Amino acid sequence: MRRPIITLTTDFGLQDHFVGVMKGVILSIAPEAQLVDITHDISPQQIAEAAFTIAEAYRWFPKKTVHVVVVDPGVGTQRRPILVEGGGHRFVGPDNGVFSMVMERETCSVREITAQRFFLKPLSQTFHGRDVFSPVAAHLAKGVTPSQFGKKIADALRSEFAKLHRVGKRSWTANVLKVDRFGNLITGFAVQDFPQLGQCVFELQAGMERISLLVHSYAEAPPNEAVLIAGSAGYYEVVVNCGSAAKKLGLAAGSPLELTIW
């Protein structure tokens, strides 16, 4: 029998006891769980970054995996805890938009988690990662069915992070979804939406630069020049071979981009 997998994505960092505590809570309930960290270095309270990260990560895991996401600036307020089912995966976290990009990819059903019998007591006002989301994920992994946690809702918060807009006959705007560790800028232009870039003339306005070269590997890029590449996440990325595109262009997550195709 397979061990159930639980993934963790938070903005807790790794220097404190928070992540270890969540794992202790999960293993106390579901000792057979296989725990996998996606990342705990989401920038503090940056929901868009978490939304992108979990949307990139979940689909590489086996079906039935439980994905916990805790980036939760509204902890302790009336924001709801939710359980999302989609694509054969289960997601647990706050109703603050953090699963928006998963919902764009999959047809999802969403439940408000109201069954307090699965929460730790006393319930803190500041650490629902420990008191709500970890125990719910552990019980899910043990086989408690989603319907036991609460009723379906239709108004879960969905934020539009990718913001792809057509602004002219040949022009679209989007923004930088994420800057990765290498300084690559992951743009909101999905490869499947613009599959023709390799066969046409294009220009991407990114900060003060106009990029018109698409390469197939980092090594193809001329030294110190920003170019476009079809990234592994399915979006075009602005990269600088052996350098940081983010630094060279002075851009960050959220920065606007405009693509024109002839």
Residues that bind its own copies (CB under 8 A): 2-3, 5, 7, 9, 11-21, 23-25, 27-28, 31, 34-42, 44-45, 53-54, 56-62, 65, 73-77, 124-127, 130-131, 178, 180-182, 216-220, 229-233, 237, 242
Nearest-approach distance from CB 35 to its own copies, in angstroms: 7
Output 111 or 130, the one with its CB closest to its own copies.
130
Tokens matching residue 37? 């960290």
Strand-pair partners of 37: 8
Give, in degrees to the nearest 5, the angle at Cα 162 between 156 and 165: 115
Output 15 or 145, the one with its CB closest to its own copies.
15
Nearest-approach distance from CB 58 to its own copies, in angstroms: 8
Output 76 or 147, the one with its CB closest to its own copies.
76
Please report, to the nearest 10 degrees, the dihedral formed by the alpha carbons of residues 56, 60, 63, 65 taken in order: -70
Nearest-approach distance from CB 60 to its own copies, in angstroms: 3
Output 59 or 163, the one with its CB closest to its own copies.
59
Nearest-approach distance from CB 75 to its own copies, in angstroms: 7
| Count of Cβ atoms closer than 10 Å to residue 233 Cβ | 18
Output 111 or 226, the one with its CB closest to its own copies.
226
Nearest-approach distance from CB 239 to its own copies, in angstroms: 8
Q: Judge if the upstream peptide bond of residue 44 is cis by omega within 30 degrees of 0.
A: no
User: In a 10 Å sphere around its CB, with 0-12 CB exposed, 13-18 middle and 19+ buried, how is residue 41 labelled?
Assistant: middle
Q: Which amino acid is at 135?
A: P
Output 140 or 179, the one with its CB closest to its own copies.
179
Q: Judge if the upstream peptide bond of residue 122 is cis by omega within 30 degrees of 0.
A: yes
Nearest-approach distance from CB 55 to its own copies, in angstroms: 9
Tokens matching residue 111? 């439940």
| Count of Cβ atoms closer than 10 Å to residue 223 Cβ | 8
